[in-house]
Structures are given as structure tokens and as C-alpha cells.
């Protein structure tokens, strides 16, 4: 609101300011011109006034001269002067002066004495009369009393000059009034005092101003334009002052100025109103758009900008509305995917957690319960590496669909991790939830058609219930997932959350967390267990096995932490460490004069590590150990994760002279035929078969058969887990090349092992009896366990 108003004000000011400036400038210019014009006209009328006054005074002089000469030529006057008849003289003078308007009339004799006069005359200047000798007429301005008079002196001739006729006319306000009437100006007669140039006049004027020049002069509240001119050519003492009041001069200008100002103000008001209307029209759309933008900012996308105009603002409003719709769509989309998984369009973890919280928080479960399933799809990484990521995505979508079908309207399915789902089942207790879980598992295992393939999806599910197990939404999901991990660790498909689960889960987390520092700080040690050759029982190799005594958790079995290290990837660092220690030991054995190989266990991740080969070679070189002295033990399952890569890696390692041993043989699912493609030199029969060699005749048959087949494949055989001499002798009798087990020694730290080795006395191990029980049992055709599949796969 404030911004819009500011813009409108700015626009208004922006348009008004120049208009105002132009207006004022024009007004000033016009007024100046008018004032100049008025003043010039007044000055001109003063100059004209002077000319008119001069013209009038000159005409008056001529007229009065004539009147004087008429008197001087009067016969009666001449006669009465000649006869010195004063009464007649006075009568003539009186008549005549009244007729012509003279204030003074006199006859002066040639000596300058007054013969007769109708008024007091100051002594006539004799020089004036002397001049008159040669003149027909003398005109002078004289002061009579305080009043200036224009005096005409004419000779009275009979026929020679016998006297002088003098006529005097007052120069007074009457005369000034007459000139005023003629010029229309203020006129006054002033007498200048020669000594101090002070003027006496009815009006104020500047006596020092030059003659016949217009000047301004202040008097009273007014200013006057004035000019003065001599009353007569012969007299500079008496002057005629013509004046005009500036107030009067400027009166028409002032009214013009008032009219102009009024007109300008009216124009400005009109223009202001027009501009205000215009700026309002221009800023209104902006105000509307601003309001709409603020609505949008506050999340209200339903506010439509309505501008009924076809101009740029109208088009802007259309674009704005289009933008509003697009942003609303995009925001809907974004907020949907903030709570949903993009691949399956199922709610994500945040959403399911929020929903659970609101169900639990609403208190609607008072007498009922709520269960949650945590579902993980197994082997998705293998499927992805075999069929590609898009197939993986398709399978996830198929699984999501299956989960939706199985849970129906009993629950909600959420996709909470790459291969992880959750199903919440309101109103279902743990047992009912287990039923749903089993339905889900069998649906996934039924097979899923992906193109031409039918893919079985294996899953692990954990179940937890509220309020039985968990006290809130967060715990419910977490406990279901703890139960799932527990199931996975125990190689089960399904598990319910048990109270001890949490403790085990914590322990596992602790182990995972501490492995890197345990390797760095050498808390994890490498121990050695000997393998002896049959039948002479000489020690030909040692297996390197890790041992970890955790400062708080105590001694940990490799089975406790090796799977954890595999799951986080720290197994790679662990294997490098074991390899280094193995090579260090090999160097030491060799230096001590023993001809002993070292065996190191590798896991899947090691085989897929693209630096494994260079690392193995570098470590051997570092300790100067020949490649022939290193055995790498790999399990069938570790190779099966990625057969082509593992096979290639093992082939390249073998080509350098390193030997490969197949560990735990008999526990996996592959047949010997499948194992044929794997590059190896040695086969280790799992201790599960060796343990019970004597007690279980079936196992003896299996072992014997495996040995025979292995030999057929040009593989040497190691029996692990040999705990007694009898088993060792049996194995020797079966042609087994090597034994390993507690019968020889438990795994020992390097020092103890070195001592053990120094004390070791080999004694020949050969079979005491020569009955061939294996063939007898095989003939009885009893079912075989464990390696049954292995042997049948061989057929």
C-alpha cells in the first residue's frame, strides 16, 4: 500500500514539478514584459507631456507679448503718459490688465522710475531696461513677493521711446492646472533656489535631477516618475515639474498580474487534477498486482488479478495469473513429493511418521492397538547389477503394488528407504500383523513378471506394536526396523520386536562405529592358526584370523564384527591391515628358516575393490614375500555376489602365482560344476563335516567323495576344524592333503605362535585301519545332508 502510494506521489511530483516551473517562468517573463511596457509608456507620456507643456507655454508667451504690444500702441495711453495724466494711465492699465489677465501693469519712465502701477513692483532691474533700449520686447521671470511672474516689457513710442509698459502674469497653480488638463499628468511649478538648489513646489521632486530627463522619485508611500523642464528659455530658476504616480502607472499592470496569477493557478489546479487522475490510473494496476503478489506470498494462490484493460497492464495481469497457477501447481507438486516417494508415489517416512503421530495423538486407539511392519527387499543390489537400475525400479514399483494389495484397506504402505517399506496397521495386534507380514512375503515370493523374467523377491520383515512395544510413533517405526535387522542377522525372514533386540541393536551400532578406530589403534589383532601337511604333519601354512578385545564389550568373535565391517565397507581397511600383518609374519617365518605360506580371508567387498590387486602386489613387494607364499581364502557366497568380476580378479591374482582357496566348502548352495568356473587351487572342507567325521558315517562318505571329486578337478583339499588325531588319520587315509584345527593348535598371537612353532614336533599321521566305510554306506543309498546338493549338482 505504502509503496503504491509512494509511486503515485512520485509520478505526480515528476509531472507537476516541470509544469509548475514552466508556468512560473512564463508568468515572470510576461509580468516583466508588461511592467517594462507600462513603465516605458509612462516615461514616453512624460516626455510627450514636456513637449506639450513647452508648446503651450510658448503659445502663451506669444499671446501675452501681443497683448503687451497692443497696450504699448494704445493712443490714449501714449497721450496720457505724454501729458503725465496719471489717472488716465491707471485707468487704461487697469482696463487692459483685466482684459488680458495680467496681475501687474505699470508704466516706467526711461530712468526706471514707476510713473503709474496697479500693484507693488520690485525695483525694475536697470540692466533689464538698458537691454530694452535695443529691444522691442523683453520677457523675464521675476519674483513678485513669493510668487514668480512672467514679465513683459515693451517700449512706449511717440514715436521715440518715452516710457516702458510693463505687464506681469503670475506663474501659479492655475497655470499648472491648465497644463495638467492638457497633458493628463501631475504638474507643478517650482522655483529653484540657486544657492542650495532647493526647490519649492506644491509637490515633492528632486531638484538635483538633470532637466528634461525622466527619473523616479520616492515620496510618501508612492514612487513617482518625474521630469522637469524650464518654464521659459531665459529662466532656469522656475521649472515646470511633470509627474506620474508609479501606483497609477502600475495599476493596469497589477490587475493584469492578478488576472495572470489567477489564470495560472486555475491552470495548475486543472493540470494537477489531470495528472493526479493519470497517476492514479497508472498506479492502480500496480497496486492490484502488488496486492496479488502479497496474497501469493502468504500462500493464497486463489487470488486472481482482475484488470479490465487491453494494454500492457492487462497483459501483465494475464501473465501474473498464469504464473500464479503455474507456481500453485509446482508447489502442490513439491509439497506432494516432500511427503511422497517419487518412484512409487507412496507416502515417505516423514509422512507416515506424521500420520502415525496424529493417530496416536488423537487418542482414538484407547482400547485398540496399532502395528507396524518394516520390510526390506533382499538381493536388490544383485538384481540391479544383473538387470540394470531401471529393472530395479520396476521391481520396487511391483513390490509397492503387491504391498498395497496385501494390506488392502487394513493399513497404509510407505516407501521409506531404497529397498525398504513400512506398513502401518491400525487396530491390528502383533499376531494379526504377523499374518499380514506372512501374506506379504508369500505374495512377493510368488514371483513378479518383469518382461520375460519371473523374479522372486525375498524380503525380511520386522514387526512391532503400539502400545505393547513402543510408546510413540517414532519408536514404533524404529522398533519394527530393529526387529527386521535382528531377523536378518539371525538369518530369519520375520521377527517380532523383543526387548533384548534394542540392546543387541545398540551393541551392533557400537561395534560398527568403533571398527575404524580399532584398526587404527591396533585393538584388532591378527592371530595365526597352523595348517599341517598329511601325512608327515609338517606345518606348511598358517591362516590369519582377527581377534578384537573391545575395551567395553570385551572379546568379540569375528562373527560379531566381520559382517558389521562388511556392511559398512570398513572390511576393506581391515583386510589391508590383515594382509600387511600376514606378509610381515611371512617375512619373519622365512627369515627364521621356515617354509610356510600365509592364508588371508577375503570377503565380497574386497573382491569388488578395484585396488585389491595393486594393494596385494605392493604389500608382497614391501615385505619381499614371493607370490607363491600367499593364499587367499574366499567363500562361495562372496564370489556369487558378482561372479564375473570376482572370477576376473581371482584369475589375475592367480596368474601372478598367488593361490586361491575355496573356504567353507559344503555350506553354500552351488554345485561343484558351478564352482568349476572359479579359478582356485585349494578346497577347504567346512568344519561342520569334519567335526562329526567319526561320529557320523554320512559325513565321512561326503568328505571322502568331496576329496575324490576335488582331486579330479586337480584341487588340493584342506580339512578345517580337525580336533583330534583320529580324524587327522582318517583324513590322511582319504587322501586329504592338509589339516587345520585345534588338534594342531588354536589360533595364537604371533609371539605365542612362534614359540609353538619352535616347539612343534611333527609325527607321521596315517590311517590305522583300511576298511572303506564310505563305499559301503554309499551302496546302502542313505540320504546325504549338507553337501547333497553339491554332489547332485556334479551329475
Which of the ranges 21-29, 83-91, 393-401, 714-722 carries the binding residues for Ca ion, by CB under 5 A? 714-722
Residue 192 vs 574, nearer CB to ligand C2E: 574
Query: Contact, 407 vs 436, CB < 8 A?
Result: yes
Nearer to ligand C2E, 324 or 684 (CB): 684
Subset of 620-649 contacting ligand C2E (CB under 6 A): 633
The region of 97-105, 319-327, 543-551, 761-769 touching ligand C2E under the rule CB under 6 A is 543-551
The residues in 443-482 that bind ligand C2E, with binding defined as CB under 6 A, are: none
Please identify, using beta-carbon distances, which residue of 387 and 688 lies nearer to Ca ion: 688
545 forms part of the interface with ligand C2E (CB under 6 A): yes
> Is residue 619 a contact residue for ligand C2E (CB under 6 A)?
no
| Cell numbers linked to 562 | 566381520
Which partner in Ca ion, ligand C2E, none is near 794 (CB below 5 to 8 A by kind)? Answer: none
What is residue 670's three-state secondary structure? coil
Residue 279 and residue 35: Cα distance in Å, rounded? 38
Least distance in Å: CB of 789 to ligand C2E? Answer: 20
- State phi, psi for 472 to the nearest 5 degrees: -150, 180
Q: Does 733 bind ligand C2E (CB under 6 A)?
A: no
From the list Ca ion, ligand C2E, none, pick the one residue 629 interacts with, judged by a Cβ distance below 5 to 8 Å according to partner type: none
Residue 718 binds to ligand C2E (criterion: CB under 6 A): no
Q: How far apart are CA 739 and CA 754, in angstroms?
A: 19
Nearest distance from C-beta of residue 334 to ligand C2E, angstroms? 46
What separation in angstroms does the CA of 734 have from each of 456, 506, 769? 41, 47, 11
- The smaller minimum CB distance to ligand C2E, of residues 459 and 601, is found at 601
For ligand C2E, the closer CB: 306 or 559: 559
559 binds ligand C2E (CB under 6 A): yes
| Continuous H helices in 348-429 | 349-362, 380-387, 389-407
Specify the DSSP element, H or E, that contains 48.
helix 2-72
Inter-residue contact 666 to 697 (CB < 8 Å): no
Rounded Cα gap, residues 620 and 590, in angstroms: 13
Q: Is 747 in the site for ligand C2E (CB under 6 A)?
A: yes
Does residue 603 bind ligand C2E (CB under 6 A)? yes
C-alpha closest to that of 633 among 722, 560, 542: 542
- Residue 642 site contact among Ca ion, ligand C2E, none (CB < 5 to 8 Å, cut-off depends on kind): none
**Cell numbers at residue 93, please?**
492699465
Helical residues (DSSP H) of 347-491, grouped into ranges: 349-362, 380-387, 389-407, 430-445, 473-489
| Spatial distance between the Cα atoms of 590 and 33, rounded to a whole number of angstroms | 125
Assess contact for 283 and 11: CB atoms under 8 A.
yes
What does the alpha-carbon distance between residue 486 and residue 494 come to, in Å, rounded to a whole number? Answer: 9
Q: How far does CA 540 lie from the centroid of its chain?
A: 72
Which 717-776 positions form the footprint of Ca ion (CB under 5 A)?
720
Q: What angle do CA 669, 671, 672 make, to 5 degrees?
A: 135
Cis peptide before 159 (omega within 30 of 0): yes
Q: How far is CA 147 from CA 92, 102, 196, 200, 238, in A?
A: 25, 14, 19, 11, 10
Residue 581's binding partner, choosing from ligand C2E, Ca ion, none, with beta-carbon cut-off 5 to 8 A by kind? none
* b/e code 260-297 from CB counts within 10 Å (16+ = b): eeeebeeeeeeeeeebbeebeeebebebbbeebeebbe
Half-sphere exposure of 308 (CA within 13 A, CB side): 0
- Considering the complex, state which of residue 480 and residue 602 has its C-beta at the smaller distance from ligand C2E: 602
Residue 411 interacts with ligand C2E (CB under 6 A)? no
Q: Closest-CB residue for Ca ion?
A: 633
Q: Min. distance of Cβ 490 from ligand C2E in angstroms?
A: 17
Tell me the three cell numbers of residue 56: 503651450
472 binds, among ligand C2E, Ca ion, none (CB under 5 to 8 A by kind): none
d(CA 399, CA 379): 14
Please state whether beta strands 682-685 and 659-665 pair in parallel, antiparallel, or not at all (unpaired).
Answer: parallel
By CB under 6 A, is residue 557 in contact with ligand C2E?
yes
Identify residues 645-704 at the interface with Ca ion (CB under 5 A). 663-664
Q: Does 591 bind ligand C2E (CB under 6 A)?
A: no
Tell which positions 677-716 bind ligand C2E, by CB under 6 A.
687
- The grid coordinates listed for 122 are 520690485
Nearer to ligand C2E, 227 or 600 (CB): 600
Report 558-617 residues binding Ca ion (CB under 5 A): 601
Q: Given the complex with ligand C2E, which of 315 and 746 has the nearer CB atom?
A: 746
Which listed residue (155, 347, 668, 721) binds ligand C2E by CB under 6 A? 721
Q: Which helix (H) or strand (E) holds 671?
A: none
> In the chain, what is the straight-line distance between the N-terminal and C-terminal CA atoms, in Å?
90
Q: Which of 731, 741, 774, 791 binds ligand C2E (CB under 6 A)?
A: 741
Distance separating alpha carbons of residues 656 and 677, to the nearest angstrom: 19
| Residue from the set 14, 263, 468, 742 that interacts with ligand C2E by CB under 6 A | 742
Q: Does 663 bind ligand C2E (CB under 6 A)?
A: yes
Write down the least CB distance from residue 614 to ligand C2E, Å: 19
> Among Ca ion, ligand C2E, none, what binds residue 516 when CB lies within 5 to 8 Å by partner kind?
none
721 binds, among Ca ion, ligand C2E, none (CB under 5 to 8 A by kind): ligand C2E
**How far, in whole angstroms, is CA 277 from its chain's centroid?**
36
Binding mask 498-537 for ligand C2E (x = CB under 6 A): -------------------------------x--------
Of 106-114, 414-422, 558-566, 617-625, which segment contacts ligand C2E by CB under 6 A?
558-566
633 binds Ca ion (CB under 5 A): yes
Closest among 396, 433, 383, 430 to 411, alpha carbons compared:
433
The only residue of 486, 664, 682, 700 in contact with ligand C2E, by rule CB under 6 A: 664
Contact status: 636 vs Ca ion (CB under 5 A): no
> Residue 471 has what DSSP assignment?
S
Pick from Ca ion, ligand C2E, none: which does 603 bind, CB < 5 to 8 A by kind?
ligand C2E
Binding residues (CB under 5 A) for Ca ion: these are 601, 633, 663-664, 720
Residues within the interface to ligand C2E (CB under 6 A): 529, 544-546, 557-559, 562, 575, 578, 601-603, 633, 663-664, 687, 720-723, 740-742, 747
Amino acid at each position: 500500500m505504502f509503496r503504491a502510494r509512494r509511486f503515485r506521489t512520485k509520478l505526480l511530483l515528476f509531472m507537476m514539478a516541470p509544469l509548475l516551473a514552466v508556468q512560473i517562468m512564463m508568468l515572470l517573463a510576461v509580468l516583466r514584459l508588461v511592467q517594462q511596457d507600462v513603465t516605458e509608456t509612462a516615461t514616453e507620456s512624460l516626455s510627450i507631456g514636456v513637449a506639450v507643456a513647452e508648446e503651450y507655454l510658448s503659445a502663451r508667451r506669444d499671446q501675452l507679448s501681443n497683448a503687451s504690444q497692443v497696450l504699448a500702441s494704445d493712443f490714449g495711453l501714449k497721450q496720457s503718459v505724454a501729458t503725465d495724466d496719471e489717472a488716465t494711465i491707471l485707468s487704461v492699465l487697469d482696463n487692459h490688465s483685466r482684459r488680458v489677465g495680467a496681475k501687474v501693469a505699470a508704466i516706467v519712465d526711461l530712468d526706471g522710475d514707476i510713473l503709474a502701477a496697479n500693484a507693488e513692483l520690485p525695483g525694475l532691474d536697470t540692466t533689464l531696461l538698458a537691454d530694452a533700449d535695443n529691444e522691442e520686447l523683453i520677457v523675464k521671470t521675476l519674483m513678485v513677493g513669493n510668487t514668480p511672474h512672467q514679465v513683459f516689457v515693451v517700449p512706449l513710442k511717440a514715436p521715440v521711446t518715452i516710457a516702458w509698459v510693463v505687464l506681469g502674469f503670475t506663474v501659479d497653480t492655475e497655470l499648472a492646472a491648465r497644463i495638467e488638463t492638457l497633458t493628463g499628468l501631475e504638474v507643478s511649478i517650482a522655483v529653484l533656489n540657486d544657492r542650495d538648489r532647493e526647490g519649492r513646489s506644491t509637490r515633492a521632486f528632486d531638484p538635483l535631477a538633470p532637466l528634461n530627463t525622466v527619473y523616479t522619485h520616492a515620496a510618501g508611500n508612492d514612487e513617482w516618475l518625474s521630469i522637469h523642464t524650464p518654464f521659459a528659455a531665459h529662466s532656469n530658476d522656475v521649472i515646470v515639474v511633470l509627474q506620474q504616480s508609479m501606483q497609477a502607472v502600475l495599476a493596469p499592470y497589477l490587475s493584469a498580474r492578478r488576472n495572470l496569477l489567477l489564470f495560472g493557478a486555475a491552470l495548475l489546479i486543472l493540470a494537477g487534477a489531470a495528472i493526479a487522475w493519470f497517476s492514479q490510473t497508472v498506479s492502480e494496476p500496480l497496486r492490484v498486482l502488488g496486492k496479488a503478489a502479497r496474497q501469493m506470498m502468504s500462500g493464497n494462490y486463489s487470488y486472481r488479478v482482475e484488470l479490465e484493460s487491453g494494454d500492457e497492464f492487462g497483459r501483465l495481469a494475464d501473465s501474473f495469473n498464469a504464473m500464479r497457477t503455474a507456481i500453485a501447481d509446482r508447489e502442490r507438486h513439491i509439497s506432494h513429493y516432500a511427503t511422497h516417494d517419487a518412484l512409487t508415489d507412496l507416502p515417505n517416512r516423514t509422512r507416515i511418521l506424521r500420520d502415525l503421530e496424529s493417530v496416536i495423538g488423537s487418542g482414538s486407539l484407547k482400547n485398540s492397538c496399532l502395528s507396524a511392519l518394516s520390510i526390506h527387499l533382499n538381493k536388490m543390489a544383485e538384481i540391479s547389477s544383473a538387470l540394470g537400475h531401471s529393472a530395479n525400479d520396476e521391481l520396487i514399483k511391483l513390490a509397492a503394488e503387491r504391498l498395497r494389495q496385501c494390506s488392502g484397506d487394513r493399513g497404509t504402505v510407505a516407501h521409506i528407504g531404497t529397498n525398504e517399506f513400512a506398513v502401518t496397521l491400525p487396530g491390528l495386534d502383533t499376531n494379526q500383523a504377523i499374518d499380514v507380514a506372512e501374506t506379504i512375503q508369500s505374495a512377493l515370493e510368488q514371483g513378479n513378471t518383469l518382461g520375460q523374467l519371473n523374479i522372486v523377491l525375498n524380503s525380511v520383515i520386522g514387526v512391532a506394536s503400539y502400545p505393547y512395544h513402543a510408546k510413540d510413533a517414532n519408536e514404533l517405526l524404529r522398533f519394527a526396523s530393529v526387529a527386521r535387522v535382528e531377523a536378518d542377522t539371525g538369518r530369519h525372514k520375520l521377527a517380532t520386536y523383543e526387548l533384548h533386540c534394542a540392546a543387541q541393536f545398540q551393541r551392533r551400532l557400537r561395534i560398527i562405529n568403533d571398527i575404524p578406530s580399532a584398526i587404527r589403534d591396533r585393538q584388532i589383532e591378527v592371530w595365526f592358526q597352523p595348517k599341517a601337511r598329511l601325512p608327515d604333519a609338517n606345518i606348511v601354512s598358517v591362516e590369519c584370523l582377527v581377534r578384537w578385545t573391545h575395551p567395553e564389550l570385551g572379546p568379540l568373535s569375528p562373527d560379531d564384527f566381520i559382517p558389521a565391517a562388511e556392511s559398512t565397507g570398513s572390511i576393506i581397511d581391515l583386510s589391508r591391515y590383515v594382509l600387511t600383518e600376514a606378509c610381515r609374519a611371512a617375512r619373519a617365518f622365512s627369515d627364521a628358516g621356515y617354509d610356510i605360506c600365509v592364508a588371508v580371508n577375503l570377503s565380497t567387498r574386497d573382491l569388488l575393490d578395484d585396488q585389491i590387486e595393486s594393494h596385494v602386489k605392493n604389500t608382497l613387494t614391501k615385505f619381499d614375500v614371493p607370490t607363491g607364499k600367499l593364499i587367499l581364502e574366499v567363500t562361495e557366497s562372496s564370489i556369487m555376489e558378482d561372479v564375473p568380476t570376482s572370477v576376473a580378479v581371482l584369475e589375475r591374482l592367480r596368474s601372478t602365482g598367488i593361490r586361491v582357496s575355496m573356504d567353507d566348502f559344503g555350506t553354500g548352495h552351488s554345485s561343484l560344476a558351478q564352482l568349476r568356473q572359479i579359478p582356485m587351487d585349494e578346497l577347504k572342507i567346512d568344519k561342520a563335516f569334519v567335526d562329526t567325521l567319526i561320529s557320523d558315517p554320512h559325513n565321512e562318505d561326503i568328505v571322502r567323495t568331496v576329496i575324490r571329486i576335488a582331486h579330479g578337478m586337480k584341487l588340493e583339499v584342506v580339512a578345517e576344524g580337525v580336533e583330534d588325531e583320529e580324524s587327522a588319520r582318517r583324513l590322511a587315509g582319504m587322501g586329504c592333503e592338509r589339516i587345520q584345527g585345534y588338534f594342531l593348535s588354536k589360533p595364537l598371537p604371533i609371539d605365542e605362535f612362534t614359540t609353538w612353532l619352535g616347539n612343534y614336533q611333527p609325527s607321521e599321521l596315517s590311517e590305522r585301519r583300511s576298511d572303506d566305510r564310505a563305499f559301503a554306506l554309499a551302496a546302502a543309498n542313505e540320504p546325504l545332508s549338507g553337501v547333497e546338493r553339491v554332489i547332485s549338482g556334479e551329475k
